[in-house]
């Protein structure tokens, strides 16, 4: 019976559901020796007191079955226990703490699809935020949570102002013990929150985007992306799933990707190209809060293989099919085109596409004018050694 319910909760016929968290910080905690030796950190970025907009990325281990050696935002798979009715007590729903997630606007299928009664106690909007926080704690040791006593502050979950997340500083030995337990059994996250008297800070996570993995061989995920902002980025404590963790400025990440020094998945390329538009963390949290009345649209890249690169084409692009096959039952990507990237640019002039060259350098083209109230990404191309941000 458990196997059947798990499929109905988070795993559909063609993909699994997951959540990812884009965490931005104003400054870093006092750097450890490991952070000071990080090849991607400039001397200025290693100073804890500098107020600079940084994001957390993790490099997946080389032995990972999904996107090995690729830099991603922390996150992972939705679990049945993220819908447990016991979360209602922990989250203080009796005092209306979850009312902020009630909306007349229907979200994308990951939020709006019908679920069995067993998984209907917690709104999908909340369960996916719990997933993002739990997985971030597992993968990086960073826990976005606050004391349960804070639930008495009604203003915190009223959505009347932008919210920064609270980082819960659990002692290292205690955190290590719980992370191991949660990795083996996700239900232990609920147990931990009860025992430590804390509440996952779901109210500080803002819906940002929704990405569906193209129908290629291997795992596929329908992933909700959330944005959360904190004052100080803690040191990262990696799990076995990751080989590297780093706080970096968005422009530095894109520059490294454009040189081929690191590899990003297409959603990360696109979201970083949006996030580079913000000068400060305060700007980002205000934008995310104001945009919270909008629902994210689900996007699936359609992959083209051309003469000199791979294109990840997105809605609004002239190359994007009118009726893209989400399931892959009719057609499988990539679609082959004999032209070069430059030739396709001219043949199909409306662009919303990420491109990876054969040398693994990445760039992005976007000249469409509007994306449903969202910020447009910064466009940069391969004619430059690196994106001039």
Residue 356 is assigned to a structural domain of this protein: yes
pLDDT value of residue 1:
35
Residue 374 is assigned to a structural domain of this protein: no
d(CA 32, CA 98): 38
Q: Taking the complete model, does pTM exceed 0.95, yes or no?
A: no
Q: Tell whether 221 and 277 lie within a shared domain.
A: yes
pLDDT value of residue 94:
63
Q: Tell whether 178 and 258 lie within a shared domain.
A: yes
pLDDT value of residue 41:
42
Q: Tell whether 223 and 354 lie within a shared domain.
A: no
- How many percent of the chain have pLDDT more than 90? 60
pLDDT bin (cut points 50, 70, 90) of residue 262 is confident
Instruction: Let me know: does 137 contact 179? Beta carbons within 8 Å.
Output: yes
Q: Tell whether 36 and 78 lie within a shared domain.
A: yes
Mean confidence (pLDDT) of the chain: 86
pLDDT tens digits, one per residue of 125-163 = 999 999 999 999 999 999 999 999 888 887 777 888 999
pLDDT value of residue 2:
39
Residue 47 is assigned to a structural domain of this protein: yes
pLDDT value of residue 13:
82
pLDDT tens digits, one per residue of 209-233 = 999 999 887 789 999 999 999 999 9
Kindly tell me if the per-residue pLDDT of 297 is higher than 70: yes
Q: Tell whether 353 and 213 lie within a shared domain.
A: no
pLDDT tens digits, one per residue of 311-354 = 999 999 999 999 899 988 887 779 999 999 999 999 999 999 99
Domain count, the chain: 2
Residue 386 is assigned to a structural domain of this protein: no
pLDDT tens digits, one per residue of 282-292 = 999 999 999 98
pLDDT bin (cut points 50, 70, 90) of residue 296 is very high
Q: Tell whether 156 and 32 lie within a shared domain.
A: yes
Q: How many H-runs (helices) and E-runs (strands) does the chain carry?
A: 11, 15
Tell the burial category of 163 from Cβ atoms under 10 Å away from its Cβ (0-12, 13-18, 19+): buried
Distance of CA 102 to the CA centre of its chain: 22
Tell the burial category of 44 from Cβ atoms under 10 Å away from its Cβ (0-12, 13-18, 19+): exposed
Instruction: Let me know: does 313 contact 302? Beta carbons within 8 Å.
Output: yes
Kindly tell me if the per-residue pLDDT of 360 is higher than 90: no
d(CA 281, CA 275): 10
Token pair listed for 235: 């040191």
Residue at which a domain ends, from 248, 273, 293 = 293
Residue 22 is assigned to a structural domain of this protein: yes
Q: Tell whether 311 and 270 lie within a shared domain.
A: no
Q: How far is CA 162 from CA 157, 255, 279, in A?
A: 10, 30, 17
Highest averaged pLDDT of the listed ranges 28-32, 173-177, 239-243, 253-257: 173-177
Residue 87 is assigned to a structural domain of this protein: yes
Residue at which a domain ends, from 293, 317, 352 = 293
* Mean pLDDT (whole number) for 265-277: 94
31: domain CATH number is 3.90.79.10
Q: Tell whether 337 and 188 lie within a shared domain.
A: no
Q: Tell whether 289 and 308 lie within a shared domain.
A: no
Kindly tell me if the per-residue pLDDT of 208 is higher than 80: yes
Instruction: Let me know: does 210 contact 271? Beta carbons within 8 Å.
Output: no
Instruction: Let me know: does 60 contact 84? Beta carbons within 8 Å.
Output: no
pLDDT bin (cut points 50, 70, 90) of residue 45 is very low
Q: Tell whether 217 and 127 lie within a shared domain.
A: yes
Q: Tell whether 275 and 323 lie within a shared domain.
A: no
Distance of CA 226 to the CA centre of its chain: 6
pLDDT value of residue 292:
87
Three-state SS for 288?
helix
d(CA 254, CA 251): 5
Residue 50, domain extent: 2-293
Residue at which a domain ends, from 293, 313, 347 = 293
pLDDT value of residue 243:
66
d(CA 90, CA 190): 8
């Amino acid at each position: 019976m458990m196997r059947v319910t798990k499929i109905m909760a988070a795993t559909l016929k063609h993909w699994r559901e997951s959540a990812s968290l884009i965490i931005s910080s104003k400054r870093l905690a006092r750097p450890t020796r490991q952070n000071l030796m990080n090849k991607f950190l400039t001397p200025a970025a290693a100073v804890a007191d500098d107020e600079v907009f940084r994001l957390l990325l993790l490099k997946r281990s080389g032995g990972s079955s999904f996107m090995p050696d690729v830099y991603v935002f922390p996150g992972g798979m939705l679990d049945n226990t993220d819908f447990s009715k016991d979360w209602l007590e922990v989250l203080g729903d009796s005092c209306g703490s979850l009312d902020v997630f009630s909306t007349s606007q229907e979200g994308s299928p990951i939020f709006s699809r019908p679920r069995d009664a067993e998984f209907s106690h917690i709104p999908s909007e909340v369960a996916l935020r719990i997933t993002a926080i739990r997985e971030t704690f597992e993968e990086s040791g960073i826990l976005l949570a606050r004391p349960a006593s804070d639930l008495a502050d009604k203003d915190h979950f009223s959505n009347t102002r932008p919210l920064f997340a609270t980082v819960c500083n659990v002692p290292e030995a205690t955190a290590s013990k719980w992370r191991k337990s949660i990795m083996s059994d996700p239900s232990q996250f609920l147990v931990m929150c009860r025992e430590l008297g804390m509440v996952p800070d779901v109210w500080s996570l803002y819906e940002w985007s929704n990405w569906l993995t193209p129908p290629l061989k291997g795992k596929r995920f329908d992933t909700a992306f959330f944005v959360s902002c904190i004052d100080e980025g803690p040191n990262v404590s990696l799990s076995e799933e990751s080989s590297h963790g780093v706080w970096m400025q968005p422009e530095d990440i894109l520059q490294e990707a454009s040189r081929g020094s690191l590899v990003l998945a297409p959603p990360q390329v696109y979201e970083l190209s949006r996030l580079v538009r913000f000068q400060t963390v305060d700007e980002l949290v205000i934008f995310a809060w104001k945009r919270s009345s909008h629902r994210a649209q689900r996007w699936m890249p359609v992959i083209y293989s051309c003469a000199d690169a791979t294109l990840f084409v997105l809605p609004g692009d002239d190359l994007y099919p009118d009726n893209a096959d989400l399931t892959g039952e009719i057609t499988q990507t990539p679609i082959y085109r004999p032209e070069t990237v430059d030739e396709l640019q001219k043949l199909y002039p409306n662009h919303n596409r990420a491109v990876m060259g054969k040398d693994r350098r990445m760039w992005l083209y976007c000249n469409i004018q509007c994306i449903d109230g969202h910020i447009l990404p910064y466009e940069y191309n391969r004619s430059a050694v690196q994106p001039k941000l």
